[in-house]
A and B are shown apart, each in its own frame.
Chain A
């Protein structure tokens, strides 16, 4: 009992490894928290614009929600393949890990393609950063801001994962590296959960 209490106290007093995790994982979590705050700021300002608005468009009339749900399906599936890759890497099956990372890259690329098509369709219908045909002009601004920033994160993730897959194929990747890339990818999926609900559905 006393020993357990002493151990707990030691963990909170700093020491060599207070989080009982490697520095890379701790730094990745800190990055996720700070990047999450960036998106929280965007979504809070979006909420502010929604409260101010008199004529916020009905999302179902602007977007095909089934199409957006299909994008969500692709991203969630890519998260599952990424988690499977991390699991395989931890078990030392680096070849299988590389294959699952590749499947994740494919998922990310499909998501980006679908998002590019969505942007193209809306731009063709007259949507711009400051104007759109559906009412409140902040609608266009927040659409491009939120999906654009998220999309840039997806693109970054696809590049990181492609490099990880190549390194895994050459036997250069370590389980830790795949886990860090996975944490970033799941964060991208996590952010989409908020954008999908708050921007497309509410």
Chain B
């Protein structure tokens, strides 16, 4: 039978991506005992590590290169982030990120990260790998306990307060429980919910379900960002080709060979691909618009093998040698496919979930003792994310969550035996002898992803989402009914269940928001509706049901936002 080992720690951090490790380092600075758990290996298999973008903050003259221009001042960064996020962002959180960001980026140097090398394509590819190695080393040197292969199944709450967490230790083949005064959820997003995504297989939204079960609420879950230029060539990995697009002006063509973006973006001249730097803030949601245009073309039957073509043939051969990322992407990741001879198939893929656990400025959630940071949280990016903010968010809020958790861990939590036993029994009840169900689980996982991609994907309609919801509920039930043979298979089962549950949360929120805003696009309501929908949607678990609530947005900084040179009207 399974045994449970109970460990004591002051701060428990779930997830070892950028946010998790930054939180661990910060909490350790306060001298408390810190344990970092990850369901797989530490620090090397997460979205930060495989991030292909840079980091942007108000650091003019310090970190500006030909590739990335930094913001002139935090105020400008704030304004752009708010306008880009179409006001779904929490002003307080955006203020923290933009005004604290520069200091946090410079601070990385003291943690062993050579910011310049790590971020500007010189040494590493993917670019996030330059960030993760030093953070893991620093956390280890500072004396954090690191536990890979630990799948957390529930947050233990007693008397309305978090007292620890329970899960299974795959590598040692037993159940584990942690007694801790503060728990930080830094588990990342849920882009894996969609069939096409360019994140790692681990982004299954585990933190969202943990938070829901613990009683915390999630916000703006309908917002999922899609990256347009993700490879769809058979035999090639699903990776985005954004770097090629930004530097070289590749052209998107449909099966007829037309440069179709001109139809969807009137401001675009034929032969040019738009991107943020070319158009500035005039088109805030450029990524979303390009993604929508591509999917619309394919839906209209003008796609080639269910995708569109990305033409890079006109790029002079010498240009490919100019930077490391494009050389690597072209020669290694393309497996000898020659983009200079024929166009490559691309189709959008999910890149991150912008909604997530609702937090305040100190990363506190609704449950005392429970904190969250990074992509697992919502409200920082609003309805669309600025390029470069994806890495800034975990660095800033990771540090904040670590500090808050360290300060909140000054309690003597007592975990009752019943709670631990309950968690163990939950695991034991799905372990069974007999035939393995891996194939069934794989099929269910595929069905969830396919349903989400086809019915709750980029172009959403009320009917399609309404049809998807019972399917997702049923799939979740079918996953719950499966039995597994080993702890490793238990992890697959839990991930599949999380995908179905998070998919259901996203679908429910998308069905309720009857407008289009940022990355959320409803073909039946294609306009932004500021009269009705200047609201944030919150969701919490109410028994077996999800309870959605709305909270109106009241902007404090309306005057500042009005000063924007592109003059987007704020009501």
> A and B, one complex?
no
